[in-house]
């Protein structure tokens, strides 16, 4: 879809409208699943919030569970994308980790409701979707682990247990789903800076350029 | 209950049997809620796993939701207890934080299924139970925040944003619910050591006595 040349105006407009409709449906589903839970939310209720009908929703998503799958997959997919991009950079391990943590934090803050829904509704996912998400989570862990190992090898990071260290680092960032809200008083950029500083120090390194708040 | 003199044999035995029955009921409820979820699990199914009847369960827990409340409350209550005990110690901030992180980690590993159930089933908790648990979680945050502030004041810890720092530290430990399993290859004592080291370093301090694995 995104690969079609922008010049094909008509088709692109159609695609864009379809994408817009899907996004609006997903957005309302996120709000309802987040506030009420997946099981008690009906497709009717999602349609109602859009001023639309149930068939409108079903035209874009085959069933309620397809909404859940896309919601649960998206956060993990976007996290994996920014993490894979960061580790592929032609930079030293510390610079790569700074980028990784900054971008991963942005994804978790953006998608904190999706992450919360994923943790809540895992048992309601079809097996193959759950397996796909679990595989992406393992990929995230492998990338992080390889980068920590690379940094230790280079004498930049220090820690005792590679497996536990990478899980702890992933947890520092991921757990923001449990405390971050749009109303949170600290700006997102400052949260990301603080996250980078804590992760690097936890691995025995010092953050390089700081953009945000003053030290102490 | 625990305050009665042990000498009153008959009464103590009765109390102990009651406590044992409650614990066994809770244990089976945890397994079922964890594997299948709260809504699809019946009190019948809990009784069945015990080779008991539904009235047996209802004698000890008024309703299924009372089982959920106790499961969700227990992890938070025990975490708060060890955290309050650690900050009350007559030690320096670093020693107190080491104890806090070690004991808090032990509670999260012990109760990882309870924590997972809490995150999943929050919406199924009665309002007053949810409020009670939220208040305990705020107490945990206040204790942690006060200890970090004390350590910064003493020049032992350094970080930029107190609120975010304490949430990140709580997240490092709490998120273990998402990755720890009884089958995990690293011994619990080593996980706790690693957690202490990462938390302290993330605050710019170095862990003191290490019990576990060798450095690097």
Query: Which 120-139 residues of chain B touch chain A by CB within 8 A?
Result: 120-124
Per-residue pLDDT, averaged over B152-167, amounts to 95
How do residues B109-145 score in pLDDT, each as one tens digit? 999 999 999 999 999 999 999 999 999 999 999 999 9
Best residue of B201, B203, B206, B207 to probe chain A, by most A CBs closer than 10 Å: B201
> What ipTM was estimated for this complex?
0.87
What interhelical angle do B112-121 and A112-121 show, nearest 10?
A: 110
Intervals of CATH 1.10.10.60 along chain A: 1-62
Q: Looking at residue B215, what is its pLDDT?
A: 42
Provide the pLDDT for residue B212. 45
Closest CA to A32 of A20, A16, A48, A10: A48
Q: Which of A158, A185, A216 sits opposite B216 (nearest CB)?
A: A158
Q: Taking 90 as the threshold, does the pLDDT of residue B41 lie above it?
A: yes
Q: What's the CATH fold of domain A1-62? A: Arc Repressor Mutant, subunit A (1.10.10)
**What Å distances lie between residue B65 and A213, B29, B42, B47, B127, CA to CA?**
45, 11, 11, 15, 12
Whether residues A164 and B119 touch (CB distance < 8 A) is answered with no
All CATH 1.10.357.10 domain ranges of chain A, comma separated, are 65-215
Distance CA B42, CA A40 (A): 18
Q: Does residue B17 register a pLDDT over 50? A: yes
Assigned token pair, B62: 């008024």
Nearest CA-CA distance, residue B208 and chain A, Å: 14
**Chain B residues within an 8 Å CB radius of A178:** 119, 171, 174
Residues of chain A scoring pLDDT < 50:
1-2, 211-216
Instruction: Please spell the DSSP secondary structure of A107-167, one letter per residue.
Output: HHHHTHHHHHHHHHHGGGS-HHHHHHHHHHHHHHHHHHHHHHHHHHHTTS---S-HHHHHH
Interface of A with B in 153-212 (CB under 8 A): 158-161, 163-165, 167-168, 170-172, 174-176, 178-179, 185-186, 190-191, 193-195, 197-199, 201-204, 212
Of B36, B174, B186, the CB nearest to A161: B186
What is residue A208's predicted lDDT score, i.e. its pLDDT? 74
B165 with A36: Cβ contact below 8 A: no
For A72-95, write each residue's pLDDT tens digit. 999 999 999 999 999 999 999 999
Select from B37, B116, B164 the Cβ nearest to the Cβ of A191.
B164
Distance from CA of A21 to the nearest CA of B (A): 28
pLDDT at B3 over 60: no
Q: Which of B186, B201, B215 sits opposite A201 (nearest CB)?
A: B201
Tell me whether residues B160 and A122 touch, CB distance under 8 A.
Answer: no
The pLDDT of residue A215 is: 42
Q: Output the pTM of the full model.
A: 0.89
Structure tokens at A63: 């069933």
Q: Which three-class secondary structure state does DSSP give residue A175?
A: coil
**What's the pLDDT band for B8 if we cut at 50, 70, 90?**
low
Contact B175 A174 (CB under 8 A): yes
Q: Do B171 and A194 touch (CB under 8 A)?
A: no
How does the average pLDDT of chain B come out, rounded? 92
Longest dimension (CA), chain B: 60
Residue range B134-162: mean pLDDT, rounded: 96
* CATH for B65-215 (3.40.630.10, 3.30.70.270, 3.90.1010.10, 1.10.357.10): 1.10.357.10
For an interface test with B, the pick among A123, A191, A203 (most B C-beta atoms closer than 10 Å) comes out as: A123
Q: How confident is the model at residue B151, as a pLDDT?
A: 98
pLDDT given at position A209: 58
């Amino acid at each position: 879809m995104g690969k079609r040349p922008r010049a094909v105006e008509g088709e692109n407009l159609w695609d864009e409208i379809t994408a817009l409709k899907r996004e609006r449906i997903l957005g309302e589903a996120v709000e309802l699943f987040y506030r009420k839970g997946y099981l008690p939310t009906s497709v009717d209720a999602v349609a109602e919030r859009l001023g639309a009908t149930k068939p409108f929703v079903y035209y874009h998503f085959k069933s309620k569970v397809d909404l859940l799958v896309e919601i649960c997959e998206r956060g993990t997919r976007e996290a994996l994308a920014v993490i894979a991009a960061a580790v592929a950079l032609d930079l030293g391990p510390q610079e790569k980790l700074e980028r990784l943590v900054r971008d991963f934090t942005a994804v978790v803050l953006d998608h904190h409701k999706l992450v919360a829904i994923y943790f809540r509704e895992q048992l309601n996912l079809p097996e193959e979707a759950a397996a796909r998400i679990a595989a992406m989570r393992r990929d995230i862990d492998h990338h992080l682990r390889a980068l920590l190992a690379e940094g230790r090898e280079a004498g930049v990071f220090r820690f005792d247990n590679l497996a536990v260290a990478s899980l702890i680092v992933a947890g520092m960032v991921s757990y923001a789903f449990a405390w971050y809200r749009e109303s949170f008083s600290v700006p997102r950029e400052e949260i990301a800076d603080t996250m980078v500083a804590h992760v690097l120090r936890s691995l025995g390194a010092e953050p390089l350029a700081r953009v945000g708040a003053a030290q102490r």
